[in-house]
Amino acid sequence: MVDLNWKKAMDLELDSINKNKTWTLVDLPKDHKAIGLKWMFKLKKDAAGKVIKHKARVVAKGYVQQKVIDFDDAFAPVARLETIRLLLALAAKGNWLVHYLDVKSAFLNGELKEEVYMTQPSGFEVKDKRLELGTSSLIRH
């Protein structure tokens, strides 16, 4: 958090998540366990190796869950099918070669069938609260 470039990248990540109403700050119910979050950092560089962007992402520590105890089924981030079709159509029309696709905030389009509680991202905590991902479209009203 000392480097202002990383702080700005973390702020941008949380602004995007909050703008999309991905989670709500709540008290953790006694019968639930919160999944931990951690920060992932990456430097984007140009062809000459010069840093062009500091990228920070908040990711869930899903590896600490135990089947049947913490979740009923596995889930993965997904992009909307319409987005994939559009991008592939543009690539086909422009005769572009498609190597891979990175859809920012793709996980916002996944659907959860259970309540999920997460710890807050380090450096941005509000005391005695946990994050709840909504059960429909990841938004809790």
Reference 38, options 17, 18, 65, 56; nearest CA is 56
Q: How many structural domains are present in the chain?
A: 1
Give the pLDDT confidence score for residue 89 in this predicted structure.
Answer: 95
Measured distance CA(133)–CA(44) in Å, rounded? 29
pTM for the whole thing? 0.58
In this structure, is residue 90 part of a structural domain? no
The residue range of the domain holding 119 is 4-75+110-133
| Distance from C-alpha of 62 to C-alpha of 81, rounded to nearest angstrom | 24
The least confident of 18-22, 37-41, 63-67 is 63-67
Note whether residue 86 is domain-resident. no
User: Does some domain include residue 37?
Assistant: yes
Whether 94 is in a domain gets the answer no
Q: How far is it, in rounded angstroms, from Cα 66 to Cα 49?
A: 41
Q: What is the pLDDT of residues 113-129, one digit of tens each?
A: 677 788 888 777 777 66
